[in-house]
Structure 1
């Protein structure tokens, strides 16, 4: 199946794609897959080949994200709808609002919101298929090297990774862009070209247009050999992750970390543990300078100093001996969010279809666990719940027959750490706050002696 160097010797097509998916998804074709469909050549080739192989029990659908960054974005959505209809593939079009954080590029912000929207739309156990190919992998590794990335960056894109309630799968990493376009032309499939791809002010486009042609002329197998290097690097990163996971477990105090335990580690292990703790909670790793600051001055500070370090998307705060991690507000959120409030994403939860819900950005998951003595009445819940972060002014009635209480006051009385208050998921039935994850239930959903179906709402923060 492969030539020396790991390159596939078979041409891209439905049969070759099915064989690759069988390697990545052991239950294939008894699986549900969802294609991230942009309408460009790569995702069109992926969707077209999948549609040609589709047969029960394979469940296939597609999602198109409209970032609304280009005046023709609606036209592109319509094109995707036409192609999906011609291939008899159900398509969902989702819109996204892109708001870069300070120091963040528009590309990076769009990528973040795209994966968040895709993750939120993913069903339990479903595989999200993206059309990243061999040339994308080469570009990613070179860009990460030029940016001074560590092993995690150079390891580039894995063929399979967890995502929300399912998996992210990249089945095309063994084929080149040229091979995918050849397949499209042979099948007469139409695609669209994003004019942004010709903007040489963007690093990836400049690399693709000006640098890679010269590299390929001198080293024709560059994509294959660099992909092999990325695999070796990914293996080394997995070993570091195992070490980081063990060090974080020793330092953990709930979702927080002991500064004393971290100080006992060597500087290298300390930075590795902090990086693992941050990324495992769903946040982007901090720049090297910020990581050094957390691993050095923050851990060495007096216990009453309460130092903090922030970077786009996250903030680390030390209170006494404990480090806590939370989301930092975006550019438009500072004025509207009260202290402890959170610009976390709003997440829909159809709990009847899945009793456990991973919450991207919150650093954990909510689970409704059936329990005949549980405090929550399942029959009092609507079919769909909404989870969101604090916005200020929330109230609920935690004691049956008692008064409505301000959430701010409840958290102060319970001595919930300031850094955790904005990260606590709030569960709503319509516009009514019915639960604060792991802390309080509103009277409206509390179980009584007459309740027939009871449960516990469990909040599990990421380890």
Structure 2
């Protein structure tokens, strides 16, 4: 049992971190980590914190939070409880939603020189590897869980990854530790629980060393993924535009296998979940190679793959704000929907679009809209009026961005489009229109 602390101590000492944050569910794995971390803190006088995420999915959740606070007081490590707002997303399992919510809350506590400690062990690694196989994953998925990687602004470490669940439970028993038991861990409707109770016991009985074999395979897959990323780094850089879009014509010269890898590394760089093999093929067949007059769209969860002027774009999904309108008051910043920032109309000159308004204009008649449908304008310095749709096309604004630009109206006249132009009839130096984007 002493080897558990030996492994733990060696790994923490090898980290460049000066502060350690424990993801503390209260289960046996994190309960043992709390005990190990308390011992390490006494020996090395480092800053430590435990974070308990209250998901609210169990009737016992309040009790678990209280017990975690009590155990933190016992060990001298402060415990912070974070409350997750679990909202089921389309196409996402409850496990996935809860996991993403948990990591988002943990990330708040991981700054530079901070290391997040997770209690995952060799049995978890085996299950993760098998789940990746079930999904038909490539090397990145089969790499399963890394022992150490980047997380938020710091590091993430799984110090028990080479130890079995049985070793951890034996340590807890020997040291008279108490822990909570999540009743959902018995529900075999969840794939991981099905593997844990029905599959892995038979695998371990047949091949007792399977944990070590799986760990080697995961590490080899991680190495292959690193090599692939290194080999494709310069090629991907040559295809990328400064707006993070991808050149389609240059991709035509690549094999399908290389294109698929480039799509994966492109999306990984953008922080988007890895697409399936079917989706990488659809990016090429249904978006990149769509008819020239088409406006293709591929849905990847919270993001869309789009095409514009010979380039592929990965854009976040936005709510339709075509019907949104609001009065724009002078010297009173207006907060825009969809995280589009703030819009302000200020008297005098400044940093933004210079404009004027009719003498004695009525403030209630000046409003902001995002719907260009049927509207026309004559930008300052141009001859003739044109539909906003045509002006956006001429200015190279992708179709999915055209309803994200604030249109300032006086009655039904287009005064300006923030970030683009002021109409000729409202040119002047009396006011400044400033759009501060998030």
Q: TM exceeds 0.5?
A: yes
Partner of 1:63: 51
Which residue, 270, 273, 278 being the options, matches 1:281?
Answer: 270
CA 1:257/1:193 → structure 2, altered by over 3 Å: closer, same or farther?
same
Work out the CA distance in 2 between the residues paired with 1:127 and 1:422: 42
Partner of 2:7: 16
Q: Secondary structure at the match of 1:121?
A: coil
Work out the CA distance in 2 between the residues paired with 1:243 and 1:274: 14
Unaligned 5+ residue runs, structure 1? 1-9, 342-386, 425-437, 440-456
> How does the TM-score come out when normalised to structure 1?
0.71
Offset, 1:392: 6.9
Work out the CA distance in 1 between the residues paired with 2:84 and 2:20: 22
**Alignment RMSD, CA only?**
3.3
Work out the CA distance in 1 between the residues paired with 2:122 and 2:104: 24
Partner of 1:452: none
Partner of 2:178: 190
Partner of 2:239: 251
Partner of 1:233: 221
Structure 1 position 149 matched with structure 2 position 137: yes
Partner of 2:358: none
Work out the CA distance in 1 between the residues paired with 2:156 and 2:322: 35
Offset, 1:48: 1.0
* Residues 406-415 or 152-161, more deviating: 406-415
Partner of 1:38: 25
Offset, 1:338: 2.1
Work out the CA distance in 1 between the residues paired with 2:403 and 2:228: 30
Unaligned 5+ residue runs, structure 2? 325-334, 356-365, 373-387, 406-418, 421-435
Which residue, 279, 289, 295 being the options, matches 1:306?
Answer: 295
Which residue, 87, 90, 103 being the options, matches 2:78?
Answer: 90
For residues 194-236 of structure 1, what are the alpha-carbon distances to aligned partners after superposition, in whole Å with 9 as ceiling and x for unaligned? 0000001111111111111111111011111111111111111
Contact 2:341 2:437 in 1 (8 A): no
CA 1:421/1:120 → structure 2, altered by over 3 Å: closer, same or farther?
farther
CA 1:421/1:172 → structure 2, altered by over 3 Å: closer, same or farther?
farther
CA 1:409/1:202 → structure 2, altered by over 3 Å: closer, same or farther?
closer
Partner of 2:361: none
CA 1:417/1:407 → structure 2, altered by over 3 Å: closer, same or farther?
farther
Offset, 1:13: 3.7
Work out the CA distance in 1 between the residues paired with 2:72 and 2:207: 38
CA 1:66/1:244 → structure 2, altered by over 3 Å: closer, same or farther?
farther
Partner of 1:224: 212
Partner of 1:73: 61
Structure 1 position 294 matched with structure 2 position 277: no
The higher radius of gyration belongs to 2
CA 1:397/1:173 → structure 2, altered by over 3 Å: closer, same or farther?
farther
Q: Secondary structure at the match of 2:306?
A: strand
Structure 1 position 261 matched with structure 2 position 244: no
Offset, 1:415: 5.7
Structure 1 position 338 matched with structure 2 position 321: yes
Contact 1:100 1:106 in 2 (8 A): yes
Partner of 1:159: 147
Partner of 2:350: 400
